[in-house]
Amino acid sequence: MWDLPDKYDFLDELIEHDLRYKKEAYIFVLDSLRATIENLQEARHVTGKELSQSCRRCALELYGPLARTVLDYWGIKSTEDFGEIVFNLIEARQLTKTEQDSKEDFKDVFDFEEAFEKNYPWGKVT
């Protein structure tokens, strides 16, 4: 198992309350959010759709054809799971939201089979 930095200790309590996702899932979403923010031209709020697309890009860059398998192992099976993770982080006061933000923003942003298998960017994965 990975030796994770102490800065993620807050996740232990969060995971005790919601067993659906592994610690790595939360760290992955936070890292994907960081990547999105770093690529913005100016500081602004990131939407659920933008974060979901960033998670897709990061998963493909990091794990290639195994992206869907890795995400599934962590408990992430759809873009709705990105939203659940984000709102768990909001509840834990690690992220903030606007009044317009909702879990619905993450619903059906893309289909995992399409994004990670059928339309795999470097050729068809069988």
What is the domain partition of the chain in residue ranges? 12-118
The length of the chain is 126
Question: Shortest CA distance to 10 belongs to which of 91, 80, 84?
Answer: 91
CA-based torsion, 38, 92, 100, 68: positive or negative: positive
Reported as type and span, the H/E element at residue 96 is none
pLDDT at 49: 96
Averaged pLDDT for residues 97-114: 95
pLDDT per residue as tens digits for the range 27-60: 999 999 999 999 988 989 999 999 999 999 999 9
CA–CA dist 75, 15 (Å, integer): 12
